[in-house]
Amino acid sequence: MGRLWTKGTINRAMLPRLVTFFLVIWGTQADVKQGVYKVYRCVPQDKDQLIALTELYRKSTELELDFWKEPRDVDGYVDIMTPPAEQEMLTEFFREHGIDYKITIGDVEKLIIQREKSELNPWSKFNSSDPVLASFFRKRMSDDFVTSNKAKYGFGDYHSYDTITAWLDDIQRFYPSLAQTFIIGTTFEGRQIKGIKIGSPVHATNKRIIWVDAGIHAREWASTHTALYFIEQLITKYGIDPQITAYMDTLNFYILPQANPDGYEYSRSDVGPQTRFWRKNRGKQVCKKDHWRRERCCGGVDLNRNFDFHWGESGSSDDLCSDIYQGSSAFSEPETRAIRDKIMSQEMWGKVDAFITLHTYSQMWIHPFNHERKSFPNDVQDLINVGQKGVDAIEKVYGTKYRFGTGADILYPSAGGSDDWAKAKANVKYVFLLELRPGEEEWDGFLLDRRQLIPTGRETWEGVKTVVDAVMAKARPKFSPQIPEIRRPPPPVEPPRFLTGRIVENPTTAMATTPTPFATTISQLVTFPRNGDSMPINRNTAPVGLNQVVLNQEEARRRFEERLRQQQQVRQQIIQNAQQSRRVSQSSGTTGQCLDRSRWCGVWLQQNPALCEQSTIYMSHDCARTCRFCR
């Protein structure tokens, strides 16, 4: 694929004017030329370029730019899917700020058809000129998919929601002692949200629980396929693989392969990029006038911003048209309420030891908390130990490398996520969010090649098994019932010592009779009941041994605060330049009147009263009278 590279000159003071100018041109353009959607990739080289891209990201809803990867750090990838009408604007923006870019996908719709709609031939016509892909398929050849499942499903391809739920029903019919479907709710469009419970026997209610969900973002199809692969492994390997047999004899698995059925089916309904890359659910549509007096109809909620944990605080939006719209309130959507009610039900409450939610893409293994940097639960060391084992297990299969950490630290802060809620509100021990293939450096993003679906499922399953192993270690008996426990006699109790009239027990004896807490901490422990047991929880500080974690996150916080200071300095400079420009304009003898150069000034200000302050340079030039800049 050809690449376009462009470089220009940075002009920080032009940023607000440039962005607003693009909005004006976009808003008043009558004839939109026909063309194709493209994906542009750029990498900010310094803080000025990062600030410019961040400002563009804030305007992305109005400009109809779809940021597949948001600007986060200097030297970090930024991927932007762009409609035909905005491509000239975007390239001009890149030139204005000296940002190098390339076109990674020249025709998004064509790639959608090629990757997801055309007839699939797994072993021919793949791009052998790509050494990474060629190496991948050499490994893949010895791992073809063979199944003994009586319920047949077309693995290695994407299928409709009806096909998925029919397969779940078939599994229940063929394996009634191992599988039972369940319905947790109904969507806005009336679809049942169906999952499957797997265990041996499946009707046992006294076992610990593993929860897995996928597809909460509609366009992330590969996550749903991966959850279905988990189901396949459990059903077909029971009684054959000793490890999986032990899993199912000891635990119950609740798997929800598609948490957003309406959004998923909508994203399948057309090959147009705006439809295929739909992210939210399909809630009620609301029509409103935008800043340019055009009527826009928007709807849907980002379900992973709708859970009740720091809802609406960071990484979300109250703009109905935004891809990260948080909803009118926490749990405003039937899908999120359904997950909440199932986890909190009498059937499951206090029994869930692992909550795993599957997403795409970036190849990241994420643990709580994600609403802000330098924030983690008291048992974070346990999450680190298990999560790192999962990352290592994934890499051992095909060499796929994952990044590990909190979403706030390795991605960006985002509040209202299901994983944070599961940890903080549902009291689940092991909570992880997995961003599956491809990696950030790959160019195809959500359009994962179907030939990678089965390998993605296999390597991810190996990683998830490390979480199941950790739960098993807590669930299985500590001693074999066939072997009597041999106890050593306790040490002799020393007589008490008398100090200033008070009796002080011998320290060794006192420690020997004190219950050992689940996690060693450096501050007071409090307990709460959890399925009949008391589980110590540290509400104050982090566990011992986290010094390096704390230092790393403090360093990340310092870098973040430094970037904020730099951004503030740039904004102050922009304001100073605008003020200087107004003073020059007022003192000039060539202009004796205070005029509006645009007849739209009043309309703009009526729609956004703060526009004069937000875009001082542009407004002082074209709307000086309306904004009262020269009185």
Q: State the Cα–Cα distance between residues 2 and 54, nearest whole angstrom.
A: 27
Contact 235, 171 (CB under 8 A): yes
Q: Which amino acid is at 323?
A: D
| Among candidate residues 4, 74, 7, the one with its CA nearest the CA of residue 39 | 4
Q: Could you say which DSSP state residue 365 is in? A: E
Contact 187, 243 (CB under 8 A): no
137: Cβ–Cβ under 8 A, 6 or more apart, which residues?
123, 126, 451
Q: Could you say which DSSP state residue 115 is in? A: I
Torsion angle in degrees (nearest 10) through CA of 462, 466, 467, 472: 120
Contact 326, 306 (CB under 8 A): yes
Contact 289, 607 (CB under 8 A): yes
627: tokens are 């904004």
Residue 521 dihedral angles phi and psi, to the nearest 5°: -130, 175
Instruction: Classify 446 as helix, strand or coil.
Output: coil
For the question of residue 459 being annotated catalytic, the response is no
Q: State the Cα–Cα distance between residues 559 and 564, nearest whole angstrom.
A: 9
497: tokens are 């010592």
Ordered DSSP codes for 479-490:
S-TTSPPP-PPP
Q: State the Cα–Cα distance between residues 215 and 161, nearest whole angstrom.
A: 11
200: tokens are 């041996």
Residue ranges with strand state E in 232-378: 251-256, 285-289, 295-299, 352-362, 364-367
| Residue of 70, 435, 442, 459 marked active site | 435
C-alpha pair distances (Å), 290 with each of 298, 455, 496, 545: 11, 45, 80, 52
Q: State the Cα–Cα distance between residues 294 and 321, nearest whole angstrom.
A: 13
Contact 227, 253 (CB under 8 A): no
Catalytic residue IDs:
435
